[in-house]
Amino acid sequence: MIEAVLFDIDGTLLVTGGAGAVAWQRAFRELHGVDANIGEHTEAGMTDPEIAEIVFREVIGREGSAAERAQAIAGYLSHLADAVAESQGYRVMPGIEEALPRLAEQGVLLGLVTGNIEAAAHIKLARADLNRFFGFGGYGSDARDRVEVTERAVQRGGAVRGTDLDLTTTIAVGDTPRDVSAGHGAGIRVVGVATGSYGVAELEGAGADWALASVADGFPV
């Protein structure tokens, strides 16, 4: 029996239609006068702080200072809400709008585990009114390492429940091999969903405990 489920956001719960990349591009153009094509320099599953560091290194050509990276992240957040609202490609993944209320009604604790910094995560979820399902999470603003992000989500889930989560009855859901390795590194099982950049076979090869075309194809709870 599964008692807690931790969901990734981008490619798992929803896609923003490139709104995140637009917000990063606007921020770096505004602050540094450069066009930063995030897709050319980053991979799915990276944390937002990692993205800021990579753009400085590979686009601007130097290591940004801590203050400059903080300024870039603030700029990204300042543009993200508009970018999400404007996006014509924003959509919720198949089965999610049915699965979340069903799991909540069954008493399953729902949380987030994402490379997004916390504020960005909630901006992305707000357009689809999905924030109401998630009372806790682990975020890219907690750590750069996705295992540590997952561990933080598990800890916070325990605080919400009032007792430590049982790792054997807690699962993560994600769309990338990074999500799979992060969940396993934190000691929990992982559902891989092929709604992002990776197919079912690739998620199986990455070691996912279950690999589904989408949540709509049947959720292991």
204 and 98 assigned to the same domain: yes
Residue 119 sits in which domain range?
4-16+91-217
Which DSSP category does 139 fall into? -
pLDDT of residue 41: 65
- Of the candidates 86, 107, 135, which is a domain's last residue? 86
Structure confidence by residue, pLDDT tens digits, 8-54: 999 999 999 999 999 999 999 998 888 877 776 666 667 888 888 88
Q: For the chain, what is the total number of helices (H) and then of strands (E)?
A: 9, 8
Higher pLDDT, 211 or 66: 211
Looking at the fold, whether 36 and 52 belong to one and the same domain comes out as: yes
Same domain, 41 and 119: no
Mean pLDDT computed over 160-183? 96
Helix (H, G, I), strand (E, B) or coil at 103: helix
Cα–Cα distance measured from residue 51 to residue 47, given in angstroms and rounded to the nearest whole number: 6
Which residues, 6+ apart, have CB-to-CB distance to 29 below 8 Å? Answer: 35, 36
The structure's pTM equals 0.93
Q: Could you tell me if 95 and 201 lie in one domain? A: yes
Please tell me whether residues 108 and 28 are part of one structural domain. Answer: no
- Say if residue 46 is in the same domain as residue 134: no
- CATH number of the domain encompassing residue 67: 1.10.150
| Tens digit of each residue's pLDDT (9 = 90 or more) over 75-87 | 999 999 999 999 9
Q: How confident is the model at residue 55 (pLDDT cuts 50, 70, 90)?
A: confident
18-54 burial: b if 16+ Cβ within 10 Å, else e: bbbbbbbbbbbeeebeeebebeeebebbbbbbbbbbb
**Helices in 33-176 by DSSP H: which ranges?**
38-41, 48-55, 66-86, 96-105, 118-126, 146-161
Tell which of 68, 86, 104 closes a domain.
Answer: 86
- Residue 8 shares a structural domain with residue 96: yes
User: Can you tell me the distance from the alpha carbon of 172 to that of 138, in angstroms, rounded to the nearest whole number?
Assistant: 11
181 pLDDT exceeds 80? yes
